[in-house]
Amino acid sequence: MNLARPFSLSVVAITALAFLGLPIGHAMIAGSILYLLLAGLDMGTVAEQLLNGMYANYIILAVPLFVLAAELMNIGSMTERLLRFCNAFVGRFRGGLAFVNIVQAIIFAGMSGSAIADAAGPGKLMQKMMTNDGKYPPSYAAALSAATAVIGPIIPPSIPMVVYALVSDASIGYLFLGGVVPGLLMAGGQMIIVAYHARVCGFPVEPPTPLRQLPRITWQALPSLMMPVVLLGGIYSGVTTPTEAAAVAGAYALLVSVFLYHSVSFADFYRSVLVSARTSASIGMLIGGALVFNYVVTVENIPQSVSALLQTWQLSPTGFLILVNVLLLLLGCVLEGTTILLVIVPVLIPTARALGIDLVHFGVVVVVNIMLGLVTPPYGLLLFIMTRIAEVPFRDLVRNVLPFLWAMIGSLALITFFPGLVLWLPRLLGYQG
């Protein structure tokens, strides 16, 4: 790479600014402006790309709406009621609370679409439940909570899949369906690890919930359990678009918390809106920066150049997917997931399309890779979050999360080599890919 070229200088500037602590979205905008200046192109292109990209894409609106829905769910008592429901059914087994942690992740996956929201809400409560009275080592509970939070954005709805749909034009509805089986595979792998640890480490058995209490616990949790039905039912029945469904999910969470559970004050609601706005603004700036930088990448014909290079390697579709897995797993160690989705993945999509790889299958594989990056050292964002929540040493958390990470990589290998695991459910509901 010629370091004197405008594009090379732009990449160097983005990297340097990011290492100096500037948010990556701002760094990409600054680097893109530098490129346009050096290349003698119209500087107004930056504003044009930002405005067209952010306001012409209706699906982007789903991101802040899903974030708000997750926050509203966490401030009410929906989380506690669902955890009691999960504990009533699987808490009676050895290592029961660990199994509860996995089951709640599957249920909450149908609500928030955000791994970080799941870790900060249900994950925090599970950490407290598992470490109460010294039942589980704090580092083990934190590692399991981080690993189960990964399931959230794979089983629908999924904020990363919304972002992938933005850059690939793949169907959001079919992407959501494609994530169901992989998410359940990952949960199954985690349950196998927990069952082994429960037997070897002698994890405690929780007192079984009396059968006469199950109807009452189920009834109390039923409004919360209906949220995925409302959300996904609206999408797949054709009544709502994914963006409209995200708005419905937020409204449903608020109505249930306020009028049925009476667990949200105006101050709680204000704080949740404020947190959601801050989170959405940071994501929006990252998307905006990526849209501007992707214009630079397009001007330089980088996707076509990469596609031509990979074609000279004569890779098969399977070989290309293996290469993508290795690349994204390595990048996930050091880069934030949304950055990978918005900057790296668009460069790979033309090659995937040329090799005949289904873009729904490719999208699910990409999202699973990016979610694994959240629990992959040294950067893993969920590892840092759970370290703060649990107040445990980072090295202890990493040691305990590795078995779960290997199990999830095994699930990734299965969906890579057997696309039918991803495409079975979408095809069952009409997908022609």
Q: What is the pLDDT of residue 189?
A: 93
Examine the pLDDT at 237 and tell me if it is beyond 80.
no
Matching residue, tokens 């990952």: 186
**Average pLDDT for 68-85:** 74
The residues with which 94 forms a beta bridge, in sequence order, are 205
Q: What is the pLDDT of residue 51?
A: 65
Residue 36: pLDDT band by 50, 70, 90 thresholds?
A: confident
CB-CB contact of 59 with 242 (8 Å) = yes
Q: What is the pLDDT of residue 70?
A: 73
Q: Measure the CA–CA gap between 186 and 328, rounded to whole angstroms.
A: 18
Examine the pLDDT at 341 and tell me if it is beyond 80.
yes
CB-CB contact of 124 with 142 (8 Å) = no
Residue 410: pLDDT band by 50, 70, 90 thresholds?
A: very high
Examine the pLDDT at 52 and tell me if it is beyond 70.
no
Greater confidence (131 vs 181) lies with 181
CA nearest to 97, candidates 67, 126, 120: 126
CB-CB contact of 318 with 417 (8 Å) = yes
- Tell me the two tokens of residue 32: 């893109």
Q: What is the pLDDT of residue 369?
A: 92
Q: What is the pLDDT of residue 363?
A: 93
Residue 53: pLDDT band by 50, 70, 90 thresholds?
A: low
Q: What is the pLDDT of residue 412?
A: 94
Highest mean pLDDT, choosing among 114-128, 136-150, 315-329, 357-371: 357-371
- Tell me the two tokens of residue 248: 């419905």
Q: What is the pLDDT of residue 110?
A: 63
Q: What is the pLDDT of residues 89-121, one digit of tens each?
A: 766 777 777 888 888 788 776 666 666 666 666
CA dihedral sign, ordered 6, 9, 11, 13? negative
Residue 395: pLDDT band by 50, 70, 90 thresholds?
A: confident
Q: What is the pLDDT of residue 403?
A: 93
Residue 78: pLDDT band by 50, 70, 90 thresholds?
A: confident
Greater confidence (250 vs 191) lies with 191
Q: What is the pLDDT of residues 83-92, one digit of tens each?
A: 777 777 766 7
CA nearest to 387, candidates 400, 371, 405: 400
Give the chain's mean pLDDT.
81
Residue 8: pLDDT band by 50, 70, 90 thresholds?
A: confident
**Average pLDDT for 399-427:** 93
54-68, 131-145, 358-372: which range is least confident on average?
54-68
**Average pLDDT for 310-336:** 82
Q: What is the pLDDT of residue 46?
A: 67
Taking each helix axis from N to C terminus, what angle separates 62-75 and 78-90, rounded to the nearest 10 degrees?
70
* Burial state string for 61-85 with b = 16 or more CB within 10 A and e = fewer than 16: bbbbbbbbbbbbbbbbbbbbbbbbb
Examine the pLDDT at 81 and tell me if it is beyond 90.
no
CB-CB contact of 380 with 394 (8 Å) = no
Predicted model pTM: 0.80
Is 245 strand, coil or helix?
Answer: helix
Examine the pLDDT at 49 and tell me if it is beyond 70.
no
Q: What is the pLDDT of residue 111?
A: 64
